[in-house]
């Protein structure tokens, strides 16, 4: 008979002669034995075998039925009452067993669910020295955690240890041994390698306790739970990394982060950037919670009060204001703040960030000032700016248009440009538009006549640019000004210049004609003087004739100077390669027999040229001839060896010319005047007063430069630079 049924019957029917139906007892016995056997088989579901709960339920109903019916086998009423009482007791006992079985089943299902959700598996390992053979208990979730199919594999504790990561196996076993020998339990973390894959380890936390015999105190088993905490560890690591990055940002960013406990007026934290932004270290703000407000410029403190009002209402705040840095510099800050309110709606905390926006703010202020200045310039300028669309209608005009042509902006904008252009200038406008459209990148200057509001014509000068491809403009920008008076003056000036050119031409012709007409009689007079002097022996007459000859030659030199001046002013520069050696030899030969009584003056020539210098030969001849002749003419008779030294260094870049003598020299008081026209140092001067003036004018015509160094009794030196164009 089934042991459970036998125990129940002995408990409640022992010593009783109750005549229970034998078929019933046999059937119950078979049913209980079959069910118990099937329940003990591993791997079969409840649907296949039924449960003890169901079996006890059947027994309970059967006994109820037995107690409710009157069996013909059973005897008198007293016996019947005994059977009913025994049946009730057996019924109650079965009910308790069913309840406990149901509770155990619920707890088992609950435990499995918890293990599956928590990724935790339980195990029970007997305390034995041979860990390779002993059978252990491993929950289904632990098999899943280890990557093993529990229906195919049975593992020992030794095999379980083999799934621990090799690097962690040593200290894990140390924890187990310490629990057996000392602590009685352990709580540790290590890595396992599910399926033996070292590339994909999992991190587990294992908590275990040693179960000891209550009489001997010897370890009986080790019971524990192993939890997969890989995701938790990865999340913790990610949090640590994120906190590290945040802390790095907190410590290195230029912006200042801060948190304030409003209830306690306490600064919770402030980033180190405050030292750069404010000039004060974090500890200064911690020591004085109101330091941040103290450094705000007084005029901007009102903004912060308004910001605090928004924060107290639970609204985020953004405010720009100025502070005074510790070094006295004024800075612009942009501060964004977020409030935290308690359940009562009271502000208890402020978190914020402050950034230095000084450069941007100064740029904005500069731009605003520039825009204001530009607007002021546009409105007060004599120039006007208009925009003309592709249909040649005005779409924009500055107020200054009224000062130029008399139209108000509102009556001018929207009208056609062609309504105002002079008929004779419309062809030019058409050509200009074609040019602007063909070459839109090139601005086009113009001069046109424009009809003003009162009907008179105004000359406008300006520049037009094509901006038809720009979405905002879609047309031409034109700026212009009234140049009516300038054009009238220019035309008058052009007429005057034409008249002046004509007068100069006539004057040049007159000078040239007069000079030639004067030189011819002078040459005749000189011939007569020479003839007369040769025909007489009278000393007085010869002296008079000599004085006449000198005066006539002086006049001839003057006329030649006038001719040179006229040619220098009238003729264009003709640039040819200059042969300084040949030019100076010709000049020296022409001055060799100069009739000044100074024919013993030595003319020295030093030439360094490569033939690449180009200039106007006739003008250079005038320069050198005048300077050398002056040096000969004004030599110092007291000196035994008078000389004139000419030095020339000529290259492709230009020519340096030096004319130096040891003559009588010029006092420094006269240096500033000697290049003036008709200037003569004294009445005894032998020249016309035009020589050095002509030298300077000629050098300037050649874009050169001349310098003078002279000292009485020492001599004179001229230094000339002539560029090679």
150 alpha carbon, distance to own chain's centre: 64
Global model pTM greater than 0.85: no
pLDDT over 60 at 31, yes or no: no
Is pLDDT of 347 > 90? yes
How would residue 91 be classed by pLDDT, with cut points 50, 70 and 90? low
| Cα 486–Cα 492–Cα 497 angle in degrees, nearest 5 | 120
pLDDT at 42: 37
**For residue 149, what are its two tokens?**
């199919």
Query: Which range, 48-57, 213-222, 327-336, is most confident?
Result: 327-336
Alpha-carbon span 447 to 478, nearest angstrom: 12
For position 393, what pLDDT does the model report? Answer: 93
Name the fold adopted by 574-723. Heat Shock Protein 90 (3.30.565)
What was the pLDDT predicted at 720? 93
pLDDT averaged over every residue in the chain: 80
Sequence spans of domains, the chain: 3-113, 119-235, 253-363, 381-482, 484-571, 574-723
Place of tokens 């030292």: 275
Q: How confident is the model at residue 441 (pLDDT cuts 50, 70, 90)?
A: confident
pLDDT for 536: 82
DSSP string, 209-272: EEEE-TTT--EEEEEEEEEE-HHHHHHHHHHHHHHHHHHHHHHH-SSEEEEEETTTTEEEEE-T
Please calculate the CA angle 194-198-200 and round it to the nearest 5 degrees.
Answer: 65
Higher pLDDT, 588 or 660: 660
Residue 131 pLDDT > 70: no
The rounded distance, in Å, linking the Cα atoms of 330 and 358 is 9
Structure tokens at 712: 């009485």
Of 70-74, 193-197, 307-311, 669-673, the range with the lowest mean pLDDT is 70-74
State the average pLDDT over residues 400-412: 87
Kindly report, residue by residue over 569-608, the tens digit of the pLDDT: 666 778 889 999 998 988 888 776 554 555 688 899 999 9
Question: Percent of the chain, pLDDT > 70?
Answer: 74
d(CA 662, CA 643): 6
In CATH, the architecture of 253-363 is 2-Layer Sandwich (3.30)
- Which is more confidently placed, 715 or 124? 715
CATH number of 484-571: 1.10.287
Of 719, 710, 698, nearest to 655 (Cα)? 719
Domains 119-235 and 253-363 share a fold: yes
Query: Residue 446: in which H helix or E strand, if any?
Result: strand 444-451
What pLDDT score was predicted for residue 196? 78
| Confidence band of 543 (pLDDT split at 50, 70, 90) | confident
If pLDDT is split at 50, 70 and 90, which confidence band does 46 have? very low
Model confidence at 71, pLDDT cuts 50, 70, 90, reads very low
pLDDT at residue number 34: 55
In CATH, the number for domain 119-235 is 3.30.450.20
Q: Which two tokens stand for residue 649?
A: 């260094």
The pLDDT of residue 530 is above 70: yes
What is the structure's pLDDT at 200? 87
Are residues 295 and 277 in contact, defined by beta-carbon separation less than 8 angstroms? Answer: no
Q: What is the pLDDT of residue 90?
A: 60
| Domain 381-482 of CATH type 3.30.420.40 | no
Mean pLDDT over 493-513 rounds to 78
On whether the CB atoms of residues 491 and 474 are closer than 8 A, the answer is no
Q: C-alpha 444: how far from its chain's center?
A: 35
Chain segment 352-405, per-residue pLDDT in tens: 999 999 988 888 888 777 777 766 666 666 688 899 998 899 998 888 888 888
């Amino acid at each position: 008979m089934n042991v459970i049924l036998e125990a129940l019957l002995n408990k409640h029917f022992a010593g009783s002669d109750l005549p229970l139906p034998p078929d019933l007892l046999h059937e119950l016995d078979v049913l209980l034995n079959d069910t118990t056997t099937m329940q003990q088989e591993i791997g079969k579901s409840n649907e296949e075998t039924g449960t003890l709960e169901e079996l006890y339920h059947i027994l309970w109903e059967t006994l109820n039925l037995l107690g409710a019916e009157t069996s013909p086998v059973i005897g008198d009423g007293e016996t019947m009452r005994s059977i009913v009482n025994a049946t009730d007791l057996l019924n109650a006992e079965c009910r308790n067993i069913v309840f406990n079985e149901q509770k155990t089943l619920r707890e088992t299902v609950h435990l499995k669910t918890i293990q599956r959700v928590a990724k935790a598996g339980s195990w029970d390992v007997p305390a034995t020295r041979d860990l390779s053979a002993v059978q252990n208990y491993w929950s289904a979730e632990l098999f899943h955690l280890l990557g093993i199919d529990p229906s195919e594999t049975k593992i020992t504790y030794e095999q379980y240890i083999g799934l621990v990561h090799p690097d962690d196996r040593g200290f894990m076993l140390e924890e187990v041994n310490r629990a057996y020998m000392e602590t009685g339990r352990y709580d540790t973390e290590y890595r396992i390698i599910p399926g033996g894959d070292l590339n994909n380890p999992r991190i587990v936390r294992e908590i275990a306790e040693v179960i000891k015999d209550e009489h001997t105190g010897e370890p009986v088993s080790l019971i524990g739970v192993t939890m997969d905490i890989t995701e938790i560890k990865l999340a913790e690591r990610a949090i640590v990394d994120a906190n590290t990055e945040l802390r790095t940002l907190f410590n290195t960013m230029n912006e200042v982060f801060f948190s304030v406990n409003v209830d306690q007026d306490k600064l919770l934290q402030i980033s180190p950037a405050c030292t750069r932004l404010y000039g004060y270290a974090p500890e200064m703000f911690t020591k004085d919670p109101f330091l941040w407000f103290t450094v705000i410029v007084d005029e901007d403190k009102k903004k912060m009060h308004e910001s605090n009002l928004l924060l107290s209402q639970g609204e985020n705040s953004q405010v720009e204001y100025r502070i005074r840095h510790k070094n006295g510099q004024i800075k612009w800050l942009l501060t964004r703040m977020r409030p935290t309110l308690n359940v009562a709606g009271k502000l208890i905390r402020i978190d914020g960030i402050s950034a230095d926006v000084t450069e941007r703010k100064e740029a904005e202020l500069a731009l605003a000032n520039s825009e204001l200045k530009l607007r002021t310039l546009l409105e007060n300028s004599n120039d006007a700016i208009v925009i003309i669309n592709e249909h040649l209608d005005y779409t924009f005009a500055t107020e200054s248009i009224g000062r130029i042509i008399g139209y108000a902006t509102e009556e001018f904008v929207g009208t056609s440009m062609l309504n105002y252009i002079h008929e004779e200038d419309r062809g030019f406008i058409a050509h200009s538009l074609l040019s602007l459209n063909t070459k839109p990148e090139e601005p086009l200057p113009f001069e046109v006549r424009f009809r003003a509001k009162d009907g008179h014509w105004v000359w406008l000068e300006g520049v037009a640019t094509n901006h038809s491809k720009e979405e905002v403009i879609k047309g031409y920008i034109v700026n212009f000004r009234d140049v009516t008076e300038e054009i009238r003056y220019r035309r008058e000036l052009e007429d005057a210049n034409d008249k002046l050119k004509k007068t100069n031409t006539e004057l040049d012709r007159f000078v040239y004609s007069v000079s030639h007409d004067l030189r011819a009689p002078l040459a005749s007079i000189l011939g007569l003087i020479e003839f007369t002097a040769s025909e007489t022996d009278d000393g007085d007459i010869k002296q008079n004739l000599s004085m006449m000859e000198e005066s006539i030659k002086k006049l001839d030199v003057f006329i030649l100077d006038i001719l040179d001046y006229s040619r220098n002013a009238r003729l264009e520069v003709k640039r040819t390669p200059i042969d300084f050696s040949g030019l100076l030899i010709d000049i020296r030969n022409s001055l060799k027999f100069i009739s000044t009584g100074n024919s013993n003056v030595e003319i020295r020539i030093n030439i360094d040229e490569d033939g690449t210098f180009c200039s106007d030969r006739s003008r250079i001849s005038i320069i050198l001839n005048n300077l050398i002749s002056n040096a000969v003419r004004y030599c110092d008779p007291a000196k035994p060896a008078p000389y004139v030294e000419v030095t020339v260094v000529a290259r492709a870049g230009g020519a340096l010319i030096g004319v130096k003598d040891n003559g009588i020299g010029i006092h420094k008081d006269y240096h500033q005047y000697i290049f003036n026209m008709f200037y003569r140092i004294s009445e005894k001067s032998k020249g016309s007063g035009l020589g050095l003036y002509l030298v300077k004018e000629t050098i300037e015509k050649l874009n050169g430069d001349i310098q003078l160094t002279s000292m009485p009794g020492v001599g004179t030196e001229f230094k000339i630079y002539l560029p090679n164009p």
